[in-house]
Structure 1
Amino acid sequence: MMRAILTLILTCCTLLTQAAPPQLLLDIARFRNEDKAVKGGIVEIYATVSGQSLTYMRRAPKMFQAAATVTIEIIRADGSAIYQETVTLKPPVLRDTTAAIKNPISFQKRILVPDGTYTVRGQVRDQYRSGNSSVVDIPLMVQTTSAKPILSDVVLLAKPASRSASDPNNFIRSGFSLTRTPGGLYARGMDKLYFYSELYNAPADQSLSLRYRARTVGGTKDAASGTGSVNGLAGRPTPIVGELDLSKLPAGEYVLTVEIRNSKSQVLSTQTARLRHTPADYAPAGAVMPR
C-alpha cells in the first residue's frame, strides 16, 4: 500500500515539474544538390526535443516513457507550405522519472527545396499533456546559382566525422558519418569541437588552405584556431572537416568562422556557425533517432 502511495506521489510530482512547454531545437543546414538537372538545394532539418521537457507516464512497473509529436513545415512567403511532415518521437524508457538525465530524441530529414526565401517552422506537442506545445520559426534562403567557390553551411558535430562503414542513413554525407550536437551545444565532457562542411566549385586538383577560428560573440581575438589543407575535387563537393580544442575556453557563446584560401592566401569562401560552450552543464550521451 505504501509503495503504491509513493508511486502516485512520484507520478504527480513528475507531472507538475513537466508543466513547462516542451523544448524544440531546429538546426538547419543547406547543401548543393548534386543532381545538376534538378534546380534547387538540399536542406537538412535536424529537430531535437529535450527529454527534460516532456511528461513521462508509467507504462509498466518501473517503466516510464514520454512521447512528442513534431510537425515540420517549409513555408513560402505567401503562407503556403512546400513541405510538411509530422512524426512521433519517443525517448528511451526510464525506470525512475527522478533521474537527473533524460536524453533528447531527434529527427532528421533531407528535402529538395527550390531557390527562394522561406520559413522553416517546427511545432512540438507533448502527447501526455494536452495543450502543451511550442513553435519555432527560422528564416531560410536557398540560393544555388553561384559559379564561384562557395562553402555550404557548417555542421557542428559531437564526434569526429567518420568514414566507418555503416548502412546509408540521413546522418551520412560524402561518405562521412556525422553526429550532430543539437543547438551547437558543447557541455561537460565535450572538450573538442568538430565540424563538417562542403566546398562547391573548387579549383580542381589545387591545394587550398583551410583556416578556422572561434571567437566570442562580438569579439575580435581568437579564442581557439586551427589550420589545414584540402585538394579541390572536380565535379563534386569537396568535404571540409576540422576540430578545435575547447578545454581552455571559458563558458559562453562563440562564433566559429571557416575560411578557404587559395595559394595566394586570398579568401575564396567563408562560412560561420554559432556555438555554446557550457562546461558546467552535463551533456547527454547523444540524441537518438526515432524507432
Structure 2
Amino acid sequence: MNRIVIIIAVMLSGLMLRAQTPTGYFHYAPFMDINGDPYLETYLAIAGNSVKYRDVEGEEDKVQASVEVTMIFKNGDIVKAYRKFNLKSAELDILKDGKPAFLNLERFALDNGTYNFELTLKDNYAKGEKFTYSDIITINIDSTDLAFSGITLAESIKPTQKRNQYTKSGFDIIPFVSNFYPDDVNELSFYAEIYNMDKAVGQDSVFLVTTYLEGNPTKRMYTEFAHKSRKTAAPINVIMKSFDISKLNSGNYNLVIEVRNSKNELLGQHKKFIQRANAEYNELDVDYTSIDISRTFAQEITNFNQLEDHIYAIYPIANRMEQKFILQDFKPGQMKLMQQFFYNFWKERNPANPEAEWNIYKDQLKIVQEHFGYGRRRGYATDLGRIYLKYGPPSSIREDHLGQQQIISGGGADQTMVDAVDYQIWHYYKVNGQTDRIFVFVKGLDKYSLGGEYVLLYTDVAGELSYDDGLNFNSVSGLLRDIDSQMLRDIQSESSRALSRFLSGQR
C-alpha cells in the first residue's frame, strides 16, 4: 500500500510559492495616502536556499542570487499595473553568511476594485521554467468614513535613520512575509492605519484603540495579549504594536484591532489571521471551580442532559484545552463544574455579554441541526455541521453524484468496487485569510463505516486535515482513485471528528 501521511499539525497558511526554483512567500496590504487615494503594498520574500548563486564580479569570496519578478494587475482584460524587475540578494560570504531570505516591497497606485493578480518568478542563474501564481485581490477603502488599512506583520519596526523603501510614518517597517510564527519567533509586531476618525468622532476627539489576540475560530479573547491606548482623531491614525508570544500556545488566532468612541461604543474592527507553533509552551488547564456563576445565565441551566448537549455542541469552536474538558464522561454530580465551564467559555469570547454570544451561536446550532443532523447524530457532531459552525456558510456548494467507483490499493493488486458515491464541494472565497479554499465531503465510500452520512475527505484549508503522497484535488473521481480502504480507516481515526466518535460510544 502507498505510504499515507496524514498531516494534523498546524500548517503554514501564508502563501508559499513552490517550484523547482525559486521558493517564495507573498503577502499584500492595501493603504490610503493623505489625499484619500488607495494604494497596495506587496511583500515578497525569496528563500535563500532555493536559488542559485554566482560569484560577484570583482569581489573575492562573494556570491549573489538574482530572481526575475513580474507582477501584473488586471481588471477584466485591462492591465491596470505592471512591473518587472530583478530582485537580488545581498552579496554574501557563503562560509559566514549562509543563505538568508531576501525581501522586496512594492507599492502600486490602484483604485478600489477587484483585480486579477499574476506573479511570475524566474531564477536568473538557473535553467528551468518560470513559476506563475495567480490570485484575486480586492481593494476597498472608504475615503469618507471610518476605514482600516491592511495589517502589515513586521519582522522589525525601528525609527528611520535614512529614508528607504521600507520607510513609513517615520519608521522602517521590515515585513514579516508570512502569517505563520514558528517556535523560534517569539515576537509579533505589526503596523496598520485607521482612516477618517476625524470624521467619525470629530477632529481632535479622543477615541480608544484596543489590540488583542483572539482564538480562531473559538473567538476566545486572550487578555494577556491585549493593549489599550487612547488616540486623538486625525485623518490618518497610525497603529504599531509588538506582542511577546513566547507563551502563546500552538494554534490559530486572529490579530484584532478594535476602535471605540468615548462612550465605549464599538465603531469598527479589523482582523488578521495568524498561526502559531510553539512546542516549548503548553497552556495550563483552567481551574473552572474558581469561576463565579452566581446570577448568570449558566446557573439557570439546571437540566443535566440539556447542559451536557450544550457543552458537546461547542466542541467545533473550542480550543484544544477546552476540547479536552468537553470529552469527559460527565456525571450529574458535576453539574456545577459544567455550568462554570460553560459560562467561562462564553465569557472569554464576549466579556461584556457572554449570554448574548451564546444566543448567537445557539441560532447557528438550529440551522446545523435542521440541515446536517443525521439519524440520531446531532448536527454539530457531523462533519458538515462542524465545518459550518467553524467557518460559517460557504460561498457556494456544488452537489453531484458519481457512479460505481473502483478503489485500488497501493500495490494495484487489490481492487474494491463500491456503490455510487455522492459528494459535495464547499467553496469559500475567503477563510482564515486564505482565498479560494474548498472542502470535499463524500458519502457511500464504505457502507460499513460511513453509511449515508457525508464525511470530510479532502480540504486545502491550512490547519485542517490534509493528505500528502500525491492526493492532489483535480476532480472528485480522481481523488477517489487515489484512496483505499485503509486510508478510509485512517481518516476516521485521525480526523477531528473526535466528538462524533465519542458521542457514538456514549449514546
TM-score range, shorter chain: 0.7 to 0.9
- Alpha-carbon separation, structure 1, partners of 2:116 and 2:85: 19
Give the counterpart letter for 1:53 in structure 2: S
CA contact (8 A) 1:230 1:240 kept: no
Q: Which has the higher contact order (CA 8 A, sep 6+)?
A: 1
Over the matched positions of the two proteins, sequence identity in percent amounts to 22
**Deviation readout 1:169-224 (Å, 9 max, x if unpaired):** 33222223212111134345431211111111113222222222223432332345
1:278 CA displacement:
4.0
Question: Could you say what secondary structure the match of 2:178 adopts?
Answer: helix
Question: Could you say what secondary structure the match of 1:179 adopts?
Answer: strand
**Deviation readout 1:96-142 (Å, 9 max, x if unpaired):** 48x89521112212221122111232211111222243223232222
1:202-281 mapped onto 2 (5 Å cutoff): 202=197, 203=201, 204-223=203-222, 225-234=225-234, 236-278=235-277
1:95 CA displacement:
4.0
When residues 205 and 80 of structure 1 are mapped into structure 2, their CA distance, relative to the original with a 3 A threshold, is same
1:173 corresponds to 2:168? yes
- Alpha-carbon separation, structure 1, partners of 2:61 and 2:49: 18
**Deviation readout 1:134-166 (Å, 9 max, x if unpaired):** 22323222233353222211111122x43x242
- Alpha-carbon separation, structure 2, partners of 1:137 and 1:75: 11
Give the counterpart letter for 2:210 in structure 1: R
Give the counterpart letter for 2:250 in structure 1: A
When structure 1 is superposed on structure 2, of 137-146 and 101-110 the one drifting more is 137-146
CA contact (8 A) 1:22 1:133 kept: no
When residues 119 and 238 of structure 1 are mapped into structure 2, their CA distance, relative to the original with a 3 A threshold, is same
CA contact (8 A) 1:198 1:238 kept: yes
When residues 96 and 198 of structure 1 are mapped into structure 2, their CA distance, relative to the original with a 3 A threshold, is closer
**Residue 286 of structure 1: aligned partner:** none
- Alpha-carbon separation, structure 1, partners of 2:229 and 2:126: 51
**Residue 71 of structure 1: aligned partner:** 70
1:138 corresponds to 2:132? no
CA contact (8 A) 2:213 2:226 kept: no
**Residue 43 of structure 1: aligned partner:** 40
Give the counterpart letter for 2:126 in structure 1: R
TM-score normalized with structure 1 length: 0.77
- Alpha-carbon separation, structure 2, partners of 1:19 and 1:31: 30
1:93 CA displacement:
3.8
- Alpha-carbon separation, structure 2, partners of 1:252 and 1:151: 26
**Residue 112 of structure 1: aligned partner:** 109
Give the counterpart letter for 1:245 in structure 2: D
- Alpha-carbon separation, structure 1, partners of 2:93 and 2:196: 52
1:80 corresponds to 2:43? no
**Deviation readout 1:18-54 (Å, 9 max, x if unpaired):** 9823122222111113224xxx411111222111211
Kindly report the root-mean-square deviation, in angstroms, between the aligned alpha carbons of the 2 structures: 2.8
**Residue 147 of structure 2: aligned partner:** 150
Number of aligned positions between the proteins: 256
Name structure 1 gaps, 5 residues minimum.
1-17, 281-291
**Residue 31 of structure 1: aligned partner:** 31
Structure with more of its chain in helix, by fraction: 2
- Alpha-carbon separation, structure 2, partners of 1:279 and 1:108: 29
| Bigger radius of gyration among the two | 2
Give the counterpart letter for 2:34 in structure 1: E
**Residue 3 of structure 1: aligned partner:** none
When residues 216 and 89 of structure 1 are mapped into structure 2, their CA distance, relative to the original with a 3 A threshold, is same
Structure with more of its chain in strand, by fraction: 1
Give the counterpart letter for 2:176 in structure 1: T
**Residue 182 of structure 1: aligned partner:** 177
- Alpha-carbon separation, structure 1, partners of 2:142 and 2:214: 31
Give the counterpart letter for 2:134 in structure 1: D
When residues 217 and 23 of structure 1 are mapped into structure 2, their CA distance, relative to the original with a 3 A threshold, is farther
**Residue 12 of structure 1: aligned partner:** none
